Amino acid sequence: MRLRVLAALAALLGAGTAHASAESKLWYKRPIPSGPAQWDQGLPLGNGRLGAMVYGGVGREKIPLNEDSLWMGWARDRNNPEFLKALPEVRRLLFAGDPTAAYRVAEKNMLGVPHRLQSYQPLGDLRLSFDGDGATDDYRLELDLDTAVATLRYTRGGVTFTREVFASFPDQVIVVRQTADKPGQVSMGVWIDRPQDAVTQIPSADRLDLIGQLACDKGLGFRASVKIVNEGGTVEAFPERVQVDKANTVTLFVAAATTFKGIAARYTGEDPRAVVERQLAAAAAKGFEKIRADHVADHQALFRRVDIRLGPTRTTEAETLPTDERVDRVKTKGERDHALDALYFQFGRYLLIASSRPGDLPANLQGVWNDKMQAPWNSDYHLNINLQMNYWPAEVTNLAEMHEPLFDFLESLREPGRQTAKVQYGARGFVAHHITDTFGFTAVGDHPRAGLWPSGAAWTAQHLWEHYQFGRDKAFLAKAYPTMKEAAEFFLDYLVPDAQGRLVSGPSVSPENRYKLPNGNVGVLCMGPTMDHEIVHALFDQCARASQILGIDGDLRKKLLEAKAKVPMPAVGKYGQIQEWAEDYDEPDPGHRHISQLFALYPSDLVTMRGTPALAKAARATIERRLANGGGHTGWSRAWIINFWARLEDGDKAYENVQALLAKSTLPNLWDLHPPFQIDGNFGGTAGIAEMLLQSHGGDIALLPALPAAWPEGTFRGLRARGGVEVDVSWSGGKATAAALRPSIGETHRLRPPRGQQIEAIATGGKRIPYRTDGDVAVVALAAGKTYEVTFR
């Protein structure tokens, strides 16, 4: 056994050191067009707060910039004072079966005032121009996910030029460097601008300032400054640019800040000018080499926690073909490129690191990247799936710290959400609906058909519990518990008894979907959508468990459990599906993109294969029915479906949807398409691939629970299971060959081998350890800090 383990671990170690380009690099043979229509095809860079895009233009490069707090709007009370008065009437009409009349009352009286959000906005464009736009040799543009550096290299007239761009988290600057392999070859113009609400000033030849103010004085002030450092050559300022001539190397440091204050540590409301001056002075003093080295080390400390290979062993072809051609082969030829599957997985991890760092705002609908003053859906925070999906990969792909911005953000919704609960519902606790922004919007947004849905905070609060589940950090749970509890308290007050004495949610919606009444009328608002009840079940249960762990709030725990017993669990409908509403309605759109009634299957675990087999079967029927009617047409919907199939342990179906995500909803830069570009599908897709390889809900750590026939061999290192365990597995011929477990805390685990296999032995330090079996499952006590080797037969 020892030999086999050693061989398998050697393979794993190999996976840990080599970062093969097919799985960790996006690259292109020609510049990416950078017109407004192709903005979403550039290579994204980010440090959690700042974002930049690179296109690799030879004569011109436009680098669109973002700062994630730059939203149009300001904080104000948006609760509707008429809401509470209308609430009984809306409920009465819905219970009486008249959703049309209920809708009218709701539309008049329940929307926020005002009910529309304003947009997250771009910061500006850094524009570079270079001498000569002619033909080049050996053009290569790449984004290395392992270093988080975009590199352009080309040769012209016998000179090889190199451009590097990255966004540094430690130094809070975006860095651009243009250099050449011969002296005096770099001549370039530099300019920064924004189409509105900002002016550009050039205070000196080495410096440009973009100074802006939104909404006259009501909105945010902001600033983006560029410091130019030339080695050799000359610099000269013109009204519209700084021109560098005949330098050896030119380095640009870009710093930016806004007057936004609140939510997370980095937004102090300090004068943006003072912030950027400080950051630029520090960057210039530190110098390019050290900034780059620190950036790469900082990034790799996160990125390198996980390695993945999905095989059959990749062909060298995958290494020789540029990324756009690889994506195109999947789209047009149905090609299976497993190194691309792995690259897509790692790209999701890269994007999370780039758009969500501790101390920053959470990743919005587009991460931190947006080029439009009026972005699609305002590039906001949607709480009826999208924001949560952004964080699905955080724990399992070993980026738990990247989850923190979501927690800070939820915390910031507590006070405004408390006001909304009180003023609109006469309830305790706090509530948020389907959309929100950085100014604490918790009222009903857009239209009742999407916005009158009170479960946004209750869902998001479950991420706190998940973080605890993965890390078992009791101090974190103690801090998080009051938020979970307040989200639950709202529902204790808000749920109402129906005619059968059950406690139901409403007025609400099953996110964005509609139902058909027996008389043919179409309803949107309803009493008792299944998803709300699933959210309540899970939240109440989590609060009860948390209060028990913390040894507090016994009375509340009792109340939560009593109430939970009266909230309906999902029912099975006439198609064998999980019913989406309290009644078994038909739907005008049976292929709807939201599959909210399966919240219980994923991300929650109320429905599991072994715990609730009948409901798991109904979940399967639900997905099949959605897919048979054109479901999965948005990237995020497809990504959710991957996770569902993974939880149903159907690896081939999960893979089919990975393939469909790549073929139908992926741009040449691997960004997800709603369409348009929306980042949730990237994160959901990454989470789904992880879920195929490792699961840890419902009490078991399951190894390769949904391995598709398409990936008969492979390895992963460093995925994370609940209970603080890092897991490595390698497999071949569709069977696990070895696994390693590295617990960070001591706990007894139930370890489930892949289907059809059994655990042969568990050893640490070369010595077998005892365990108990329960069917195929090994029940084993693991100690913190050790590595356990698992073999299979």
Q: Is 223 helix (H, G, I), strand (E, B) or coil?
A: strand
Q: H helices then E strands: how many in the chain?
A: 23, 34
Cβ-based nearer residue to ligand FUC, 40 or 553:
40
Minimum gap (Å) between residue 323 Cβ and ligand FUC: 25
Cβ-based nearer residue to ligand FUC, 119 or 737:
119
In angstroms, rounded to a whole number, what is the distance separating the alpha carbons of residues 740 and 754?
14
Q: Is 726 helix (H, G, I), strand (E, B) or coil?
A: strand
Query: Using CA atoms in the order 683, 685, 691, 696, what is the torsion angle rounded to 10 degrees?
Result: 20
Q: What is the DSSP string of 94-125?
A: HHTT-HHHHHHHHHHHSS-SS-PPPPB---EE
Which segments of 443-507 are extended strands (E)? 496-497, 503-504
Cβ-based nearer residue to ligand FUC, 593 or 742:
593
Residue 30: what are its φ and ψ, rounded to 5°? Answer: -145, 160
Cβ-based nearer residue to ligand FUC, 537 or 674:
674
Cβ-based nearer residue to ligand FUC, 119 or 634:
634
Give the footprint of ligand FUC on residues 81-110 (CB under 6 A). Answer: none
Minimum gap (Å) between residue 674 Cβ and ligand FUC: 5
* Under rule CB under 6 A, residue 532 binds ligand FUC: no
Minimum gap (Å) between residue 434 Cβ and ligand FUC: 7
Window of 46-54, 296-304, 379-387, 768-776 that interacts with ligand FUC by CB under 6 A: 379-387
Cβ-based nearer residue to ligand FUC, 639 or 739:
639
What is the enclosing helix (H) or strand (E) of 725?
A: strand 725-732
> In the numeric block, which tokens belong to residue 351?
């994007």
- Single out the residue of 249, 279, 386, 622 in contact with ligand FUC (rule: CB under 6 A): 386
User: Which residue bears the tokens 């009352």?
Assistant: 105
Cβ-based nearer residue to ligand FUC, 593 or 750:
593
Give the footprint of ligand FUC on residues 429-458 (CB under 6 A). Answer: 450
Q: What is the DSSP string of 274-311?
A: HHHHHHHHHHHHH-HHHHHHHHHHHHHHHHTT-EEEEE
Cβ-based nearer residue to ligand FUC, 323 or 510:
510
C-alpha neighbours within 13 Å on the C-beta side of residue 602:
27
Minimum gap (Å) between residue 639 Cβ and ligand FUC: 11
Window of 295-303, 377-385, 658-666, 710-718 that interacts with ligand FUC by CB under 6 A: 377-385
Give the footprint of ligand FUC on residues 552-611 (CB under 6 A). Answer: 593-594
Window of 97-105, 327-335, 380-388, 688-696 that interacts with ligand FUC by CB under 6 A: 380-388
Give the footprint of ligand FUC on residues 677-716 (CB under 6 A). Answer: 678
Q: What is the DSSP string of 681-699?
A: HHHHHHHHHHHHHEE-GGG
Minimum gap (Å) between residue 376 Cβ and ligand FUC: 7
- Single out the residue of 61, 512, 532, 726 in contact with ligand FUC (rule: CB under 6 A): 512
- Single out the residue of 161, 377, 439, 716 in contact with ligand FUC (rule: CB under 6 A): 377
The answer to whether the CB of 249 falls within 8 A of the CB of 289 is: no
Residue 378, C-beta contacts closer than 8 angstroms, at least 6 positions apart:
117, 118, 119, 120, 365, 435, 437
- Single out the residue of 256, 353, 365, 704 in contact with ligand FUC (rule: CB under 6 A): 365
In angstroms, rounded to a whole number, what is the distance separating the alpha carbons of residues 722 and 283?
40
**Residue 515 burial (CB count, 10 A):** 23
In angstroms, rounded to a whole number, what is the distance separating the alpha carbons of residues 384 and 363?
15
Cβ-based nearer residue to ligand FUC, 594 or 722:
594
Minimum gap (Å) between residue 594 Cβ and ligand FUC: 6
CA distances from 125 to 96, 121, 239 (A): 56, 12, 17
Window of 188-196, 381-389, 463-471, 521-529 that interacts with ligand FUC by CB under 6 A: 381-389
- Using N-to-C axis directions, what is the helix angle for 635-647 and 651-664, rounded to 10°? 170
Cβ-based nearer residue to ligand FUC, 622 or 634:
634
> In the numeric block, which tokens belong to residue 396?
């399992």
Minimum gap (Å) between residue 377 Cβ and ligand FUC: 4
Minimum gap (Å) between residue 692 Cβ and ligand FUC: 23
Cβ-based nearer residue to ligand FUC, 623 or 719:
623
Window of 110-118, 193-201, 318-326, 378-386 that interacts with ligand FUC by CB under 6 A: 378-386
Cβ-based nearer residue to ligand FUC, 232 or 590:
590
> In the numeric block, which tokens belong to residue 283?
């960057």
CA distances from 601 to 3, 108, 149, 527, 746 (A): 40, 36, 38, 22, 28
End-to-end CA distance of the chain: 11
Cβ-based nearer residue to ligand FUC, 324 or 532:
532
Binding mask 662-681 for ligand FUC (x = CB under 6 A): ------------x---x---
Long-range contacts of 537-541 (CB under 8 A, 24+ apart): 537/564, 537/567, 537/569, 537/600, 537/606, 538/462, 538/600, 538/604, 538/606, 539/458, 539/461, 539/462, 539/484, 539/487, 539/488, 539/491, 540/488, 540/491, 540/564, 540/567
Q: Is 534 helix (H, G, I), strand (E, B) or coil?
A: helix
- Single out the residue of 309, 326, 382, 422 in contact with ligand FUC (rule: CB under 6 A): 382
- Single out the residue of 384, 424, 510, 596 in contact with ligand FUC (rule: CB under 6 A): 384
| Dihedral-angle region of residue 778 (phi above 0 means left; psi in -120 to 50 means alpha; beta otherwise) | beta
Minimum gap (Å) between residue 571 Cβ and ligand FUC: 24
Q: Which strands make up the sheet holding 713-721, listed edge to edge?
A: 307-311, 713-721, 725-732, 735-743, 788-792, 759-764, 767-768
Minimum gap (Å) between residue 378 Cβ and ligand FUC: 9
Give the residues across from 727 on adjacent strands. 719, 741
Cβ-based nearer residue to ligand FUC, 636 or 731:
636
Minimum gap (Å) between residue 413 Cβ and ligand FUC: 18
Cβ-based nearer residue to ligand FUC, 593 or 626:
593
Minimum gap (Å) between residue 385 Cβ and ligand FUC: 6
The answer to whether the CB of 445 falls within 8 A of the CB of 426 is: no
Minimum gap (Å) between residue 678 Cβ and ligand FUC: 6
Cβ-based nearer residue to ligand FUC, 505 or 678:
678
Give the footprint of ligand FUC on residues 632-651 (CB under 6 A). Answer: 634, 636
Footprint of ligand FUC on this chain (CB under 6 A)? 365, 377, 382, 384, 386, 450, 512, 593-594, 634, 636, 674, 678
